[in-house]
Structure 1
Amino acid sequence: MKQWLLCLGTSLAAFGVYCLKRARNTKGLPPGPKPWPLLGNIGDFPPPGTPEHEHWSRHKDLYGPISSVTVAGATLILVHDARVAHELLDKNARRTSGRPEMVMANKLCGFEFIAVCLTCDGPIFRRYRRLMHQELGTKTSSARFQDVQEAEVGRQLLRVLKDPRRLDDHYDATSTSMILRMTYGYNIQPDQPDTLVSLVKQTLLDFSLAASPMFWAVDLIPALQYLPDNFPGASFKQSARKWRKNSQASAYVPYNFVRSQMASRPGTRPSSYVSKLVETLSSSPSVSSERSNDKINSDKDNRSGKEILDREDEHAIIWTAASLFGAGSDTSAMTMRIFTFAMIKFPHVQSRAQAEIDRVVGSSRLPGFQDREELPYVNALLKETLRWWPVAAMGFPHTVTEGFEYKDYWMPKGAVILPNVFCMLRDPAVYARPHEFEPKRFLESRLEPDPRDEAFGFGRRVCPGRFFAEASLYLNMAQMLAVFRMSRVLGSDGHEVGVEALDHVSIKPGVLAHPTDFECRVMPRSEQHVQLIRELERRFPFAPGDAGKLALLDDAKPGHFV
Structure 2
Amino acid sequence: MEYFQHSNLNTDLVVCVVLGIIFVGFIAARLSTRARLPLPPGPPGQFFSGNAHQLPSGPGGRQYLEWSKSYGDVLHLRNWSSHIIVLNSEKAIRDLFARRAENYSDRVQTPMYCDPSLVDRGKTVFSTNYGERFRRYSKLLHQALSKSAIAAYEGVQAEATDRMLTDIARKPEAFVQHIRACTTRIILKVAYGYDLTVPEDGGEDYFVKLVEESIALGNESFKPGRWLVNSFPILRHVPEWMPGAGFKRWARGARVKLHEMTRAPIEMVKQQMAEGTAAPSFVSRNLEEGADQETLTWVAAALYVGGADTTVAALSTFVLLMVRYPEVQRKAQAELAALGRLPTAEDRPRLPYVEAVMKECMRYNTIGPMALAHCARREDEYAGIRIPRGATVYSNIWAVTRDERIYSDPEVFRPERFIGEKAERDPWDIIFGFGLRRCPGRYLADATLFIAIAKLLAAFEFRPEVDAAGRETIPLEQWTSGPNCGPKPFQCQIIARPNEALLSL
* TM-score tier after normalising by the smaller chain length: over 0.9
Alignment length, in residue pairs? 490
Cα distance, 1:3 vs structure 2: 6.5
After superposition, give the CA deviation of every residue in 1:294-315 in whole Å (9 maximum; x if it has no partner): xxxxxxxxxxxxxxxxxxx111
Whether 1:110 and 2:114 are equivalent positions in the alignment is: no
RMSD: 2.0
What corresponds to 1:32 in structure 2? 42
**Alignment partner of 2:248: what SS?**
helix
Residues of 2 paired with 1:182 and 1:263: CA distance? 20
Whether 1:375 and 2:385 are equivalent positions in the alignment is: no
**Alignment partner of 1:254: what SS?**
helix
Cα distance, 1:54 vs structure 2: 2.8
Confirm or deny: 8 A CA contact 1:356 1:375 kept in the other structure.
yes
Cα distance, 1:18 vs structure 2: 5.0
Q: Which runs of 5+ in 2 are unaligned?
A: 1-8
**Alignment partner of 1:418: what SS?**
strand
What corresponds to 1:285 in structure 2? none
Residues of 2 paired with 1:225 and 1:15: CA distance? 16
Confirm or deny: 8 A CA contact 1:75 1:416 kept in the other structure.
yes
Residues of 1 paired with 2:89 and 2:478: CA distance? 23
Q: Are the structure 2 counterparts of residues 347 and 14 from structure 1 closer, same or farther at C-alpha, using a change threshold of 3 Å?
A: same
Q: Are the structure 2 counterparts of residues 483 and 71 from structure 1 closer, same or farther at C-alpha, using a change threshold of 3 Å?
A: closer
Residues of 2 paired with 1:186 and 1:19: CA distance? 54
Equivalent AA in structure 1 for residue 489 of structure 2: D
Q: Which stretch has the larger CA shift, 37-46 or 424-433?
A: 37-46
**Alignment partner of 2:332: what SS?**
helix
What corresponds to 2:276 in structure 1? 265
Residues of 2 paired with 1:104 and 1:65: CA distance? 29
What corresponds to 2:73 in structure 1? 65
Residues of 2 paired with 1:369 and 1:65: CA distance? 40
What corresponds to 2:489 in structure 1? 517
Equivalent AA in structure 2 for residue 522 of structure 1: I
Equivalent AA in structure 2 for residue 474 of structure 1: F
Whether 1:341 and 2:320 are equivalent positions in the alignment is: yes
Cα distance, 1:222 vs structure 2: 0.9
Cα distance, 1:192 vs structure 2: 3.1
Cα distance, 1:251 vs structure 2: 0.8
Confirm or deny: 8 A CA contact 2:373 2:393 kept in the other structure.
yes
Q: Which stretch has the larger CA shift, 118-127 or 246-255?
A: 118-127
1:357 to 336, 350, 357: 336
**Alignment partner of 2:462: what SS?**
strand
Percent sequence identity over aligned pairs: 30
Whether 1:243 and 2:254 are equivalent positions in the alignment is: yes
**Alignment partner of 2:107: what SS?**
coil
Residues of 2 paired with 1:380 and 1:124: CA distance? 38
Q: Are the structure 2 counterparts of residues 32 and 259 from structure 1 closer, same or farther at C-alpha, using a change threshold of 3 Å?
A: same
Residues of 2 paired with 1:121 and 1:214: CA distance? 25
Cα distance, 1:521 vs structure 2: 1.5
Cα distance, 1:428 vs structure 2: 2.9
Residues of 2 paired with 1:521 and 1:127: CA distance? 46
What corresponds to 1:176 in structure 2? 184
Equivalent AA in structure 2 for residue 179 of structure 1: I
Residues of 2 paired with 1:491 and 1:10: CA distance? 59
Cα distance, 1:235 vs structure 2: 1.0
Could you tell me the TM-score, scaled by structure 2's length?
0.92
Residues of 2 paired with 1:25 and 1:484: CA distance? 59
Residues of 1 paired with 2:33 and 2:305: CA distance? 35
Equivalent AA in structure 1 for residue 488 of structure 2: T
Q: Are the structure 2 counterparts of residues 258 and 146 from structure 1 closer, same or farther at C-alpha, using a change threshold of 3 Å?
A: same
Confirm or deny: 8 A CA contact 2:59 2:369 kept in the other structure.
no
What corresponds to 2:460 in structure 1? 484
After superposition, give the CA deviation of every residue in 1:111-143 in whole Å (9 maximum; x if it has no partner): 2234x221111211221122111221x211122
1:1-12 → structure 2 map (5 Å cutoff): 1-2=9-10, 5-6=13-14, 8-10=16-18, 12=20
Cα distance, 1:7 vs structure 2: 6.2
Cα distance, 1:10 vs structure 2: 4.4
Could you tell me the TM-score, scaled by structure 1's length?
0.83
Residues of 2 paired with 1:280 and 1:23: CA distance? 55
**Alignment partner of 1:139: what SS?**
coil
Cα distance, 1:59 vs structure 2: 0.8
What corresponds to 1:321 in structure 2? 300
What corresponds to 2:504 in structure 1? 535
Q: Which stretch has the larger CA shift, 82-91 or 4-13?
A: 4-13
Residues of 1 paired with 2:54 and 2:459: CA distance? 48
Cα distance, 1:492 vs structure 2: 3.2
Residues of 1 paired with 2:170 and 2:44: CA distance? 57
Residues of 2 paired with 1:85 and 1:17: CA distance? 31
After superposition, give the CA deviation of every residue in 1:137-169 in whole Å (9 maximum; x if it has no partner): x21112211111111001011112222222111
Cα distance, 1:175 vs structure 2: 1.0
Q: Are the structure 2 counterparts of residues 22 and 247 from structure 1 closer, same or farther at C-alpha, using a change threshold of 3 Å?
A: farther
Cα distance, 1:95 vs structure 2: 0.7
What corresponds to 1:130 in structure 2? 139
1:55-94 → structure 2 map (5 Å cutoff): 55-94=63-102
After superposition, give the CA deviation of every residue in 1:343-379 in whole Å (9 maximum; x if it has no partner): 11111111121222223xx21x321111112222111
What corresponds to 1:221 in structure 2? 232
Q: Which stretch has the larger CA shift, 23-32 or 386-395?
A: 23-32
Whether 1:161 and 2:169 are equivalent positions in the alignment is: yes
Equivalent AA in structure 2 for residue 162 of structure 1: R
What corresponds to 1:41 in structure 2? 51
